[in-house]
Structure 1
Amino acid sequence: MRLPVVNHYVLALGYPYEGPFYGVYTREGVTENGFLVFDYVSTDDDKVLSRRVLTATRTGFYLKSEKTQANIKNVHRKPFDDPLLGISMWQWAGSSVIVNPWGWVRFVYFVFAVDVILKLFVLMLVVFRNFPAWETMGRRYLRVHLQ
Protein backbone atom coordinates (compact mmCIF):
# COMPACT_ATOMS: atom_id res chain seq x y z
CA MET A 1 0.00 0.00 0.00
CA ARG A 2 1.42 3.38 -1.02
CA LEU A 3 0.60 6.66 0.60
CA PRO A 4 0.34 9.84 -1.46
CA VAL A 5 3.31 12.19 -1.27
CA VAL A 6 2.63 15.22 0.88
CA ASN A 7 4.83 18.25 0.31
CA HIS A 8 5.39 20.56 3.23
CA TYR A 9 5.99 24.29 2.88
CA VAL A 10 7.39 26.73 5.41
CA LEU A 11 5.63 30.10 5.71
CA ALA A 12 6.37 33.06 7.96
CA LEU A 13 3.13 34.99 8.38
CA GLY A 14 3.54 38.71 8.94
CA TYR A 15 7.20 38.76 7.91
CA PRO A 16 9.05 41.30 7.64
CA TYR A 17 6.83 43.27 10.05
CA GLU A 18 6.75 40.50 12.64
CA GLY A 19 8.81 37.45 13.33
CA PRO A 20 9.95 35.50 11.41
CA PHE A 21 7.77 32.90 13.12
CA TYR A 22 7.82 29.97 10.75
CA GLY A 23 5.09 27.38 10.47
CA VAL A 24 4.75 24.19 8.45
CA TYR A 25 1.90 24.05 5.92
CA THR A 26 0.58 21.65 3.30
CA ARG A 27 -0.66 22.84 -0.06
CA GLU A 28 -4.36 22.15 -0.55
CA GLY A 29 -4.85 23.64 -4.01
CA VAL A 30 -5.73 26.82 -5.85
CA THR A 31 -8.96 28.83 -5.63
CA GLU A 32 -10.85 30.01 -8.70
CA ASN A 33 -9.48 33.51 -8.06
CA GLY A 34 -5.85 32.35 -8.29
CA PHE A 35 -4.94 32.14 -4.58
CA LEU A 36 -2.81 29.28 -3.27
CA VAL A 37 -4.44 27.52 -0.31
CA PHE A 38 -2.26 26.21 2.52
CA ASP A 39 -3.35 24.38 5.68
CA TYR A 40 -1.33 24.55 8.89
CA VAL A 41 0.26 21.32 10.12
CA SER A 42 -0.11 21.35 13.87
CA THR A 43 2.52 19.67 15.99
CA ASP A 44 0.47 19.93 19.15
CA ASP A 45 -3.28 19.78 18.51
CA ASP A 46 -4.20 20.99 21.99
CA LYS A 47 -2.41 24.35 21.88
CA VAL A 48 -2.50 25.59 18.27
CA LEU A 49 -5.66 25.92 16.24
CA SER A 50 -5.69 24.88 12.63
CA ARG A 51 -5.50 27.73 10.17
CA ARG A 52 -5.94 28.11 6.43
CA VAL A 53 -3.81 30.61 4.50
CA LEU A 54 -4.64 32.11 1.11
CA THR A 55 -1.68 33.75 -0.60
CA ALA A 56 -0.97 35.45 -3.93
CA THR A 57 0.74 38.49 -5.38
CA ARG A 58 -1.83 41.00 -6.58
CA THR A 59 -1.39 43.44 -9.44
CA GLY A 60 -3.95 45.75 -11.02
CA PHE A 61 -6.13 48.67 -10.05
CA TYR A 62 -9.46 49.45 -8.47
CA LEU A 63 -11.70 52.48 -7.95
CA LYS A 64 -12.80 53.29 -4.38
CA SER A 65 -12.97 49.63 -3.32
CA GLU A 66 -11.98 46.18 -4.57
CA LYS A 67 -15.62 45.12 -4.31
CA THR A 68 -17.14 47.92 -6.43
CA GLN A 69 -14.95 48.21 -9.53
CA ALA A 70 -11.67 46.38 -10.02
CA ASN A 71 -9.38 44.73 -12.55
CA ILE A 72 -6.90 42.69 -10.53
CA LYS A 73 -4.66 39.76 -11.39
CA ASN A 74 -3.82 37.31 -8.59
CA VAL A 75 -0.49 35.65 -9.35
CA HIS A 76 1.36 32.94 -7.42
CA ARG A 77 4.57 31.02 -7.92
CA LYS A 78 3.98 27.61 -9.35
CA PRO A 79 5.22 25.05 -6.81
CA PHE A 80 7.40 22.18 -8.01
CA ASP A 81 7.81 18.71 -6.56
CA ASP A 82 11.57 18.93 -7.00
CA PRO A 83 13.22 21.33 -4.48
CA LEU A 84 16.05 22.19 -6.89
CA LEU A 85 13.55 23.37 -9.52
CA GLY A 86 11.66 25.26 -6.83
CA ILE A 87 14.75 27.29 -5.96
CA SER A 88 16.18 27.78 -9.44
CA MET A 89 13.06 28.34 -11.55
CA TRP A 90 10.19 30.77 -11.12
CA GLN A 91 7.01 30.13 -13.05
CA TRP A 92 4.03 32.36 -12.40
CA ALA A 93 0.41 31.30 -12.70
CA GLY A 94 -2.82 32.98 -11.74
CA SER A 95 -6.09 34.41 -12.90
CA SER A 96 -7.71 37.77 -13.48
CA VAL A 97 -10.55 39.08 -11.36
CA ILE A 98 -12.74 41.70 -13.03
CA VAL A 99 -15.51 43.24 -10.95
CA ASN A 100 -17.78 45.75 -12.68
CA PRO A 101 -21.30 45.94 -11.23
CA TRP A 102 -21.86 49.30 -13.00
CA GLY A 103 -21.22 47.85 -16.46
CA TRP A 104 -24.87 48.22 -17.47
CA VAL A 105 -24.49 52.01 -17.18
CA ARG A 106 -21.95 51.90 -20.00
CA PHE A 107 -24.57 50.20 -22.16
CA VAL A 108 -26.99 53.07 -21.47
CA TYR A 109 -24.26 55.55 -22.47
CA PHE A 110 -23.71 53.55 -25.65
CA VAL A 111 -27.43 53.70 -26.51
CA PHE A 112 -27.46 57.48 -26.00
CA ALA A 113 -24.33 57.85 -28.14
CA VAL A 114 -25.85 55.83 -31.00
CA ASP A 115 -29.04 57.93 -30.77
CA VAL A 116 -27.08 61.20 -30.98
CA ILE A 117 -24.98 59.95 -33.92
CA LEU A 118 -28.10 58.92 -35.85
CA LYS A 119 -29.72 62.31 -35.21
CA LEU A 120 -26.56 64.09 -36.40
CA PHE A 121 -26.55 61.93 -39.53
CA VAL A 122 -30.17 62.89 -40.31
CA LEU A 123 -29.34 66.56 -39.66
CA MET A 124 -26.41 66.41 -42.12
CA LEU A 125 -28.64 64.81 -44.75
CA VAL A 126 -31.16 67.64 -44.38
CA VAL A 127 -28.41 70.29 -44.50
CA PHE A 128 -26.81 68.92 -47.66
CA ARG A 129 -30.20 68.39 -49.29
CA ASN A 130 -31.13 72.04 -48.76
CA PHE A 131 -27.65 73.47 -49.44
CA PRO A 132 -28.39 74.55 -53.08
CA ALA A 133 -31.49 76.46 -51.91
CA TRP A 134 -29.40 78.35 -49.32
CA GLU A 135 -26.84 79.21 -51.96
CA THR A 136 -29.42 80.92 -54.18
CA MET A 137 -30.98 82.70 -51.17
CA GLY A 138 -27.54 84.02 -50.19
CA ARG A 139 -26.93 85.42 -53.68
CA ARG A 140 -30.29 87.21 -53.66
CA TYR A 141 -29.54 88.65 -50.21
CA LEU A 142 -26.16 89.93 -51.33
CA ARG A 143 -27.60 91.49 -54.53
CA VAL A 144 -30.31 93.31 -52.62
CA HIS A 145 -28.15 94.64 -49.81
CA LEU A 146 -24.96 95.41 -51.70
CA GLN A 147 -26.56 97.52 -54.46
Structure 2
Amino acid sequence: MAMPLLDAIYKTAHEHSGGVEALAARMGVNAQVLRNKVNPNAASHHLTAREADLMMALTGDFGVLHALAANHGFVCVKAPDDVSAGDLAVLDIITLIWARTGDVGRAVYETLADGRVEKHELSNVRQLAYTLQQGLIEMLGRLESMAD
Protein backbone atom coordinates (compact mmCIF):
# COMPACT_ATOMS: atom_id res chain seq x y z
CA MET A 1 0.00 0.00 0.00
CA ALA A 2 2.42 2.58 -1.25
CA MET A 3 1.70 6.25 -0.85
CA PRO A 4 4.00 9.26 -1.07
CA LEU A 5 6.80 8.90 1.48
CA LEU A 6 6.07 12.05 3.47
CA ASP A 7 2.38 11.16 3.64
CA ALA A 8 3.26 7.66 4.86
CA ILE A 9 5.45 9.10 7.61
CA TYR A 10 2.71 11.51 8.69
CA LYS A 11 0.05 8.77 8.65
CA THR A 12 2.18 6.33 10.63
CA ALA A 13 2.71 8.84 13.43
CA HIS A 14 -0.75 10.37 13.54
CA GLU A 15 -2.76 7.15 13.24
CA HIS A 16 -0.86 5.44 16.05
CA SER A 17 -3.07 4.64 19.02
CA GLY A 18 -2.84 7.75 21.19
CA GLY A 19 -1.46 9.82 18.33
CA VAL A 20 1.90 11.52 18.05
CA GLU A 21 2.08 12.14 21.80
CA ALA A 22 1.87 8.45 22.67
CA LEU A 23 4.29 7.48 19.92
CA ALA A 24 6.79 10.15 20.97
CA ALA A 25 6.70 8.87 24.55
CA ARG A 26 7.38 5.32 23.36
CA MET A 27 10.23 6.58 21.16
CA GLY A 28 11.72 8.66 23.97
CA VAL A 29 11.47 11.96 22.07
CA ASN A 30 9.64 15.22 22.63
CA ALA A 31 6.13 15.14 21.13
CA GLN A 32 6.46 18.55 19.45
CA VAL A 33 9.79 17.58 17.92
CA LEU A 34 8.29 14.36 16.53
CA ARG A 35 5.25 16.28 15.30
CA ASN A 36 7.61 18.60 13.40
CA LYS A 37 9.65 15.69 12.02
CA VAL A 38 6.59 13.95 10.59
CA ASN A 39 5.05 17.15 9.21
CA PRO A 40 5.44 17.01 5.40
CA ASN A 41 5.54 20.82 5.29
CA ALA A 42 8.31 21.28 7.89
CA ALA A 43 11.65 22.20 6.39
CA SER A 44 13.65 22.40 9.61
CA HIS A 45 13.08 18.95 11.15
CA HIS A 46 13.64 15.57 9.49
CA LEU A 47 13.04 12.00 10.60
CA THR A 48 16.22 9.89 10.69
CA ALA A 49 16.36 6.39 9.28
CA ARG A 50 16.69 5.01 12.82
CA GLU A 51 13.63 6.95 13.95
CA ALA A 52 11.61 5.72 10.95
CA ASP A 53 12.69 2.15 11.73
CA LEU A 54 11.70 2.54 15.39
CA MET A 55 8.38 4.13 14.40
CA MET A 56 7.54 1.16 12.19
CA ALA A 57 8.57 -1.32 14.89
CA LEU A 58 6.43 0.40 17.52
CA THR A 59 3.35 1.01 15.37
CA GLY A 60 3.35 -2.08 13.17
CA ASP A 61 2.61 0.28 10.26
CA PHE A 62 5.01 -0.35 7.39
CA GLY A 63 3.65 2.24 4.95
CA VAL A 64 6.98 4.09 5.12
CA LEU A 65 8.83 0.97 3.99
CA HIS A 66 6.37 0.38 1.15
CA ALA A 67 6.62 4.02 0.05
CA LEU A 68 10.42 3.85 -0.05
CA ALA A 69 10.35 0.60 -2.01
CA ALA A 70 7.76 1.89 -4.50
CA ASN A 71 9.76 5.09 -5.05
CA HIS A 72 12.64 2.97 -6.31
CA GLY A 73 10.67 0.40 -8.29
CA PHE A 74 10.61 -2.34 -5.66
CA VAL A 75 7.81 -4.24 -3.94
CA CYS A 76 7.93 -5.22 -0.27
CA VAL A 77 6.51 -8.52 0.88
CA LYS A 78 6.69 -9.58 4.50
CA ALA A 79 8.63 -12.77 4.89
CA PRO A 80 6.23 -15.04 6.74
CA ASP A 81 7.36 -16.45 10.06
CA ASP A 82 5.89 -19.82 9.21
CA VAL A 83 5.29 -20.38 5.51
CA SER A 84 2.35 -22.67 4.94
CA ALA A 85 3.55 -25.10 2.33
CA GLY A 86 1.09 -27.25 0.56
CA ASP A 87 -1.45 -27.31 -2.20
CA LEU A 88 -4.16 -25.57 -0.15
CA ALA A 89 -1.83 -22.77 0.93
CA VAL A 90 -0.85 -22.16 -2.69
CA LEU A 91 -4.48 -22.32 -3.79
CA ASP A 92 -5.34 -19.79 -1.09
CA ILE A 93 -2.81 -17.27 -2.40
CA ILE A 94 -3.81 -17.93 -6.03
CA THR A 95 -7.43 -17.06 -5.28
CA LEU A 96 -6.21 -13.86 -3.63
CA ILE A 97 -4.16 -13.09 -6.76
CA TRP A 98 -7.22 -13.65 -8.96
CA ALA A 99 -9.24 -11.23 -6.85
CA ARG A 100 -6.48 -8.62 -6.98
CA THR A 101 -6.12 -9.10 -10.75
CA GLY A 102 -9.81 -8.35 -11.10
CA ASP A 103 -9.38 -5.21 -8.98
CA VAL A 104 -6.56 -4.02 -11.25
CA GLY A 105 -8.58 -4.78 -14.38
CA ARG A 106 -11.61 -2.94 -13.04
CA ALA A 107 -9.50 0.09 -12.10
CA VAL A 108 -7.86 0.20 -15.55
CA TYR A 109 -11.29 -0.10 -17.21
CA GLU A 110 -12.67 2.76 -15.10
CA THR A 111 -9.55 4.85 -15.76
CA LEU A 112 -9.91 4.49 -19.53
CA ALA A 113 -13.71 4.75 -19.64
CA ASP A 114 -13.83 8.51 -20.20
CA GLY A 115 -10.87 8.54 -22.61
CA ARG A 116 -8.59 10.35 -20.15
CA VAL A 117 -6.09 9.14 -17.59
CA GLU A 118 -6.09 11.36 -14.53
CA LYS A 119 -3.34 11.36 -11.91
CA HIS A 120 -5.64 10.20 -9.09
CA GLU A 121 -6.84 7.32 -11.29
CA LEU A 122 -3.27 6.33 -12.09
CA SER A 123 -2.44 6.42 -8.40
CA ASN A 124 -5.29 3.99 -7.70
CA VAL A 125 -4.17 1.61 -10.47
CA ARG A 126 -0.58 1.79 -9.18
CA GLN A 127 -1.71 0.92 -5.64
CA LEU A 128 -3.76 -2.04 -6.82
CA ALA A 129 -0.95 -3.29 -9.08
CA TYR A 130 1.43 -3.06 -6.14
CA THR A 131 -0.76 -5.30 -3.98
CA LEU A 132 -1.07 -7.73 -6.90
CA GLN A 133 2.73 -7.89 -7.13
CA GLN A 134 2.92 -8.62 -3.42
CA GLY A 135 0.57 -11.57 -3.84
CA LEU A 136 2.58 -12.98 -6.72
CA ILE A 137 5.81 -12.76 -4.72
CA GLU A 138 4.13 -14.44 -1.75
CA MET A 139 2.94 -17.24 -4.04
CA LEU A 140 6.49 -17.78 -5.28
CA GLY A 141 7.71 -17.95 -1.69
CA ARG A 142 5.17 -20.63 -0.86
CA LEU A 143 6.08 -22.66 -3.93
CA GLU A 144 9.79 -22.30 -3.16
CA SER A 145 9.19 -23.65 0.33
CA MET A 146 7.66 -26.77 -1.25
CA ALA A 147 10.53 -27.39 -3.68
CA ASP A 148 12.61 -30.53 -3.27
**TM-score between the two structures when normalised by the length of structure 1:** 0.21
Higher relative contact order (CA 8 A, sep 6+): 2
**TM-score between the two structures when normalised by the length of structure 2:** 0.20
Which one has a larger percent helix, Structure 1 or Structure 2? 2
Which one has a larger percent strand, Structure 1 or Structure 2? 1
